[in-house]
A = this chain, B = another copy of it.
Amino acid sequence: MKKQQFASDNYAGICPEALAAMAEANSGHARSYGDDEWTSRAADSLRRLFDRDCEVFFVFNGTAANSLALASLCYSYNSVICATAAHVETDECGAPEFFSNGSKILAVPGENGKLTPQSIRAIATGRSDIHFPKPRAVTITQPNELGITYSIEEVQAISAVCRELGLKLHMDGARFANACASLGVSPAEASWKAGVDVLCFGGTKNGMATGEAIIFFDRSLATDFDYRCKQAGQLASKMRFLAAPWVGMIENGAWLKNAEHANACAKRLAARLEGLPYIARVYPVNANSVFLNAPTPILEGLHQRGWHFYTFIGGAARFMFAWDADPAEVDRLADDVIAEVKAFGK
C-alpha cells in the first residue's frame, strides 16, 4: 500500500517505541512463558500506570482478550450484556460464545451505540426464570465502535447498577488510550476508579505489532487465569516479545502520545469538513474516528480518488486514524472531500 489509508487503525505498523523495545528485548536468552524480566517489567509498568496492584496478562489479540476476560467472569449458562454496536456482538465471529462455551450475548440498542444504566437494568431484570441465561457481566467499549467515549460519570453510573445487580463490569479498551486522551483522565480514573472490574487494554491499535493486556483490578477475579490463557492458545512461549512493547510504550509515554495524535487527526478532518453541504457527521468525534454520511456519488468519488474506507449501517463512511497518521494526508483527504462536494453540488 503506497499511500496512507484511513480505513482502519490496523493498517498502521509498529511505532518506534514498541519496535525499539522489541529489539532491546532481543538480546541473549530469556526464560519462556512469561517467567522473564520483560514480562515482569511490563506488568509493573502497567501497575504504575494504573496506580493499582492489579493482575496483568498479555495475550495476542483483542478477540482473545475480550473473550477470555468475559469467559472468566461467566459460566456457560450466563449471559453478557452489551450494546448492539459492540464488537463482541458484531465482529468476533462468535468468539465470546466459543471461549465461554455458550454464554449468550444480550445486545441492547441504545443511543450513540451506548449502554445506559436504564438499558442494563431493563435487560438484566426483565427475566429471572431458568430458561433465560442469567446475566453476569456487562461489557462496554471505551471509546465505543462509533468513536464515542463514555464520560467518567456514565461509567460510574453503569458501574453502580452493575454492583447493585451483581454484574461484573468489563471494558473493551481496544482503543483505551484514545479514550484517556480524549477524556483527559488518567488510566486509573478511566477504569477501576470508575468501577471497571476488568479492562482489556489494546496495544495493537495503539502502535504495537500485536498484543493486548488483560487487567484485573480485583485480583480475586484473576484466579487461575493463566491456565485459561494457556489452554486457549494465548500463552506466548517467547513472552518477552509480547511484553517488551508495553514497556517501550508506557515508560516514555508513547501510549498517550500516539492516542493524542490519532485523536487530533480525527478532529482535524472533522474541522476541515465542518459546515460543508451534503456532508453530515454522524457521531461526535471523541476519539480517532469520523463517521460521515454523504451522497453516494461523493463516496464513490472518494473511492475513485484512491481512498479506502468502510461504510456501515445506514451508509456512513468511517475514517479512522492511527498513531502514524500524516496530517498532510488528512488534509489531502479533506481536500478531496471538499472537491467531491463541489463537484456534486454542480
- Is residue A63 within 8 Å, beta carbon to beta carbon, of the partner chain? yes
Are B95 and A97 in contact, with the CB atoms below 8 A? no
A236 to B234, CA, bound (A): 12
How many residues of A are counted as interface, with CB atoms below 8 angstroms from the partner's CB atoms? 76
> Which residues of A288-341 are within 8 A (CB) of B?
none
- Is residue A346 within 8 Å, beta carbon to beta carbon, of the partner chain? no
Kindly list chain B residues whose C-beta atoms are within 8 Å of the C-beta of A234. 60-61, 64, 233
Are A227 and B134 in contact, with the CB atoms below 8 A? yes
- Is residue A258 within 8 Å, beta carbon to beta carbon, of the partner chain? no
Stretch touching chain B among A10-18, A46-54, A110-118, A261-269: A10-18
1/0 per residue, CB under 8 A from B, across A1-43: the answer is 1111100101111100001001101111111110010000000
Kindly list chain B residues whose C-beta atoms are within 8 Å of the C-beta of A78. 227
Q: Closest Cβ of chain B: how far from A266's Cβ, in Å?
A: 17
Number of copies: 4
Kindly list chain B residues whose C-beta atoms are within 8 Å of the C-beta of A105. 104
1/0 per residue, CB under 8 A from B, across A63-92: the answer is 110011000000111110000000000111
A26 to B23, CA, bound (A): 13
A143 to B23, CA, bound (A): 30
- A28 with B13, Cβ < 8 A, contacts A75-B228, A77-B228 known: yes
Are A224 and B77 in contact, with the CB atoms below 8 A? yes
Are B94 and A241 in contact, with the CB atoms below 8 A? no
Nearest-CB residue, chain B, relative to A174: B237
Instruction: Name A101's contact: one of B28, B102, B224 (CB within 8 Å).
Output: B102
Kindly list chain B residues whose C-beta atoms are within 8 Å of the C-beta of A104. 93-94, 97, 105
Are A63 and B97 in contact, with the CB atoms below 8 A? no
Chain B CB within 10 Å — which of A13, A94, A240 has the most?
A: A94
Are A77 and B94 in contact, with the CB atoms below 8 A? yes
A77 to B97, CA, bound (A): 10
